[in-house]
Each structure stands twice: as structure tokens, then as C-alpha cells.
Amino acid sequence: MTLRRILHVDMDAFFASVEQRDHPEWSGRPLIVAGAPQTRGVVAAASYEARAFGIRSAMASAAAERLCPHVIRVPPRHERYREISREIQDLFRDYTDLIEPISLDECFLDLSEYCARQRLPLARIAREIKTRIRQQTGLTASAGGAPNKFLAKIASDLKKPDGLVIVPPGQAEAFLAPLPVERIWGVGPVLASRLHALGIRTIGELAAKSPAWLELTFGRLGVEMELLARGLDERPVVPWREPRSLSAENTFARDVQDPQTVLEEIASQAEEVARRLKGHEVVGRTVTLKLRYADFTTITRSRTSRRPVETTGQIESLATRLLSRTEFPQRPVRLVGVGVSGLLDRLRPVQLELFDHEE
């Protein structure tokens, strides 16, 4: 059996770094990517120079400007960020096709087969990938390597920017033990407060509790926390690819539980996908809704229509109905995506079916 080798790559201050790279005069200066000054909004990205003033992503842009009045504020250029993200993902495909994008600036790579075939350690391949990203794009990335996704994600966050942390097999519990419980997926401020009140502040202290006690105290969540605290995570790296499809997606600056925010995002994405369908002169048959929950679990729900799908209203209506078949809003989401597949030429006759199909 091939030993699992998972790499999590996280571009450093991606949007802000792209702006500084494309505008050398902004290099080394505090910069935020946010909406136009006359609009309300939040910081989508902050350069490390801006972070030195206490500015963070998801902060109100007005608050960021109060912290640093001379901060450079630039509007987001999403097409530019997507272009560079695609370039980086093309680089990843030199190593594996098992690439799971988390957002434009984050990916999981399953390098198990490549490591085995090349007989090279994960650390060496990770350094090579980081070097190639810098040479090809002028940007830096932080990376974490481990036997599973949970450990790799935590490792990539520990030495930013331009960091690399590898968790060797068999060292998971020792690696996790001193870290705060907030590092565990799904442990937000409310749950962290409950754990602290019980005297549990580190992952090691959590792992020391009996599974039965954790289940009794926290239910199913306690079982999941206990497994993660011991460094156990069997989820595979799953690429999300719809053959012959058009889609749009967005990762929120922070986890979202407000239904209106998600519905507005679905409406916006439906409009974008409809515009692209028209541009390609195609219609579709199947609408897919993609959600990524706060713990990085990704799910999709699909509905195949009897009639060709092409308008904003059709796409939005079907995607909204699919949202009711998910665990939102009980589970917060960090990513929403809407796609249309089963594409056909707009002028091609379509045989209507008696019933819609869901999956």
C-alpha cells in the first residue's frame, strides 16, 4: 500500500501579493484589496506590511484605513487572480492530477504516487514546487506536508510567509499536542470557550480525554474531534471537475451562516454562469450546487431539468432549491459554487423528459 503524502499549498497574501507584483511601486508598502472607497465592504486581502498595523482579512475596510491611514487601497481583479491561480494549478499537474482547490489561493495535492515513483521524500518535492512557483510567478507560497489533509493544512499555517513544515509519519500526536484546540476544524470561539471551561486548551489535552467522555459531552462532534486530535483523517483529495460544464464559485473571507448572504451569492453566480452560457452559445441540462463547510468538507447537489437551462432565473431557482437539501445554515460555509453541465449547442433540438432528476 502506498504511503499517503498530502501537500497543502497556500499562497501568501495572494491577492495583495499579485497587486504588489504587478505594480512594483507598491512593493514593500501596506496595501489592502477591497472595494471602491465609496462602497461599504471588507478587506479581501492585506499585504504583510499592512498586517503589521493590525489589518486582517474580513476586517471592515474603513477600520483598516483608520489603523493605517496611508494604506494603499486597490479594487479586486478577480479575473487576474483566477488567471494566476490556473497557472499555478497547471504547474501542480506536472506532479499529480489529484488536486483539490480550496479557493483561488489554496490547494491540496495528493503526491503519494509521485513520491513513490520518484523515490523522493515529500519535503524535497515540496521545496521544488515552492521554488517553481516563485520562479514562474514571482510569488511565495507556504506549504505543509503530512499523511493526511488535516495535518497538512495545519502545517502550512505555522510558518507563514514562505514557510514549509513537514509532519513525518508516526509523529502526528506529538506535532499536534502543544497546539491550541482552536486549530481543530470546526472549533470556533463558542466551542473553544466550552473546551477551555473544561480545562482543555491544547490538542494534546483533548486527545488525552476518553472517546466515550467526548462523545457523551459533545455528541458526534466529540467523536470527530477525538479522531482529529489524534491526527486521524481518512478523507481523500477529491478534484471537483464537471466534464463539459461552466461554473462559478467564491470563497468567503470568513465562514458564513447567514442565509441571505448565501442566497445573494447564488444569484450572483447564476448571473455569471448564464452570461458564460450565452457567450459560448450553449444551454445546459444539469445545475450543480457546491458547498464547502467550515471544516473543509465539500459536498455537491445536482438537479437535471426536463428543459434546457440557460437563464439566470432558471439557474438561480434550481440552485436555491438544492440549497435546501444541504446542512446549511446549521453548518456554516466557506465556499459556494454554482455550475451547469450537460452542455448542448443552443440550436440543437432537445428531447424533453417527463421528470426532473436529482442526485
Residues 6+ apart with CB under 8 A from 108: 6, 7, 8, 99, 100, 102, 149, 152, 153, 237
Choosing from 19, 49, 100, 106, the catalytic residue is 106
Closest residue by Cα to residue 314 from 276, 284, 355: 284
Cα dist from 28 to 21, 49, 282, 286, whole Å: 10, 7, 46, 47
C-alpha cell read off for 179 = 497546539
Strands (E), 131-215: 141-146, 164-166
The answer to whether 249 touches 337, Cβ cutoff 8 Å, is: yes
Give the integer Cα–Cα distance in Å for 241 and 237.
13
Give the integer Cα–Cα distance in Å for 294 and 179.
19
Instruction: Please give the DSSP secondary-structure letter assigned to residue 235.
Output: P
Active site residue 106: yes
Active site (catalytic) residues: 106
